[in-house]
Amino acid sequence: MHAVPPKDIKLHAKSKTLELIYSDQQQFELSAEYLRVHSPSAEVRGHGVGNGVLQTGKQLVGIKGLEAVGNYALKITFDDGHDSGLFTWEYLLDLCQHYDSYWNRYLAELSKAGKTRHANMIAKG
């Protein structure tokens, strides 16, 4: 199934969130950090199954810019310089619909690796 783009996209710079509003009145707010650590780029996902790179220290990351790519994706430029991931409409909707499970999995992976969401900090355990 081909996902339709959101009816409206709002960037909230102060709260560092991206609001996605769909035609069926569903709306979601995704933090810049959530989007950054789930970027579909090769830098984050790796170049094959199981080759992903755990993103750490991204709690304070923000979004610098948004750019539509054709009719199928959104390019997000983050203020840490990352801009190589194309978020297809399907992928964005998937991130919205599975937010809790994806976020909890990310937090568990950080914990398992002894890493933290904070920049330049070492997790104590």
Q: What is the pLDDT of residue 125?
A: 40
pLDDT means over runs of 10, the chain (125 residues): 82 96 88 96 78 90 95 95 94 96 96 89 45
* Contacts with 96 (C-beta within 8 Å, 6 or more apart), sequence order: 20, 26, 28, 30
Rounded to whole angstroms, how far apart are CA atoms 62 and 12? 10
Q: What is the pLDDT of residue 1?
A: 47
Q: What is the pLDDT of residue 44?
A: 84
Q: What is the pLDDT of residue 46?
A: 77
Domains for the chain: give ranges and CATH numbers. 8-113 (3.30.2020.30)
Q: What is the pLDDT of residue 112?
A: 95
